[in-house]
Structure 1
Amino acid sequence: MSLQNPAQDVRVATGRAAEALADEVRTLGLHRLLLVAGSRRLVDDLTAGLPVAACFHDVVMHVPVGVVERAVALARRRSVDGIVCIGGGSATGLAKAVAVRTGLPVVAVPTTYAGSEATPVWGVTDDSGKHTASDPRALPRGVVYDATLTLTLPAARGVASGLNALAHCVDSLWAPRATAATTERALEGAALLARTLPRVAADGATPDLAADADLAAREDLLRATHLAGAVFADAGSGLHHKICHVLGGLLDLPHAETHAAVLPHVVALNAPAVPELDARLAAALAGSPTSRSALDELEALYARLRPTRALRDLGMPADAVPAVVDAVLASGLTGNPVPLAAAPLAALLRGAWGDPA
């Protein structure tokens, strides 16, 4: 699968992230870097010899505005000319928000399957919730994928992160700017994710490279992640992402796990209303034509992966459903296969919360 993107230099460099990162920094002509990384575990090895002028480690989920302002102030104080971010979606999201404020180019080194590095979509949270937008300045100029950097990702986090990527593909099927081309790419990404996620999940977290890790599957999963993020950026944000952004912004629920918990409920609502897409998504998830529905195939995948399924287990209070429904309806989403109304949204959220009724 190609990772070509005319706006990005994307490098797949398994076992060679430090070398590829240094080459990308040289290619972009950067001389004073702001390093954004929540974990310091990988930083020294990956950035040795790079012209790092400042480090920012206060990476916070959902990118609070105050954190962005501190990072921007540090970048300006140290006169940096570029940003390197190492980590998951929170680190990438912070770097993108700083890039929008400053115009600085970003080089991303992902260590999860968040996919944020493949999109110009950026977002911040404040007291009123999460706010997202698309801006070409937010799209990283360079991306370095190294499958070995995912080896210590805890298995449960890796599963949730991969299902977050799958949600990018699924939501793209009925997103506002969906086209025949984005649909083909979304189904391609969904098929690759469904095929590789169970292989990677079987590894668990493997801190020793001598262990029997399936690096080929991890490379495929990173490629699928990039495809999922890119098609999501083209097709736009559908119902699934509107719901999850509200849940994250209002309730501070964990990002990837929330996406994993909500996805089957959105598929249950939307897929039956678009039978052709339902059948094509089911075939993509199954890896071959199937008589079962997309929801059936998704449930089979979840049975293998065993992610956290209930929003109540992620910290959502049951009495938050009405506020979440109101915020989703206020988002102005149009074109969903099922017309949006309070009753079906509330039923969807109660199901995702863990109410069997």
Structure 2
Amino acid sequence: MTCTTFSIRLDGCDACVRVCPVQALRPSSTDPVPEPAEGCTGCGRCVAACPMGALSLTGDESEALPATHLECEQVPPSACLPRSRVVPCLGGLDGAALIQAHRLAGEGPRLVDRGLCARCPSGGGADIHPSGAALDQARHLLEAMGVPPARLPRLEPASASGALGATARDPAIPDASRRAFLGRLGLEAGRWLGHTVPAMSVVSSATGTTSPTPPPALAPVPPPRPSTARLRLLNACLELARQQGLPMPHGLFSAMEVGDDCRGHGVCRSVCPTGALFRRREEGGSTALVFDPCHCIGCGACERACPEQALRIEARRDDDWRSPEVLREFGSRTCRRCGSPFQAHGDESECAPCARSQAFARSLSRQMAEREDSARIADPCHPPEAAPDVPGVSRA
């Protein structure tokens, strides 16, 4: 299953599907909104995994409350540790939530591991704790900001005594909270899409009756949008840095280099899902390819899409992330063949389509000449007819 809203730009992103512990998200080539099946446990791990923040849970105001411990909702309130906050699933927390919790509490937080994940459907039966990826990200960023190791977020084993009676919800019994989760999930994804595809009807040739059919599989390519997941992480780090006078971590930002092979055709810009790469008109009529490190999620779509492989993304090693940077500037010229304006690279005098057409014509003419030479050598008494000239192309 891929989220149609962003999968076109993210090369078929299926992060939410891969992380779902019960495979409750179903593939759909027609519906832009993920479709959780009845087996959904409401853990929110798909929300934490989405790189764009296209999925979210609403209605939980407890994230703004300071807490040194985070407990799974399977633990009864009487068994929870002091200063703890209950969440649907520890695996549903992302790095931004952990950094925000650290800022509010001044330490940690400690994710209380009572050993319940192994028998909980939301745990997925994996050897690695469901919160492992988010913990690694939060610890790495906080450590880079200068937070002492003793105050970093971590798993804290705790006795399951008092929580042994707590069992995971039966996924076959959809309770009110899970129904609300499914409703919020679909509503939020629908908001991001910004439109709905109307249903179609088809008339049966046998009965003459009308029956509904799925909407068309093809959907318009969505415009680039800033990643809300990225913005949450940035804001969490910025608030902590301002509050405690800490530096921003370099690893939070990417750096991009563009080689001399770049031709400025804009394929990289067109596949960027967040608008981190964009084109800007400069003074004097030139056009610049501009990169905004704050919006880059490091998906690598631009690298993979570049025909010349002229782009390279790497971790940033400096503090120059606060404003967009010009990667390449192209002058505006008029193609000497077709008369269309194009972004010139070096001393180019033809636009890319004309240059490709000329290269193809020259290659075709060369192949035909080689065939004539081969035929003449094979039968010198009956030379072949001369190949027709290609208009505008020299045979030399």
TM-score range, shorter chain: under 0.3
Choose between structure 1 and 2: higher strand proportion.
Answer: 2
Choose between structure 1 and 2: higher helix proportion.
Answer: 1
Question: What is the TM-score of this pair, normalised by structure 2?
Answer: 0.24
Q: Which has more radius of gyration?
A: 2
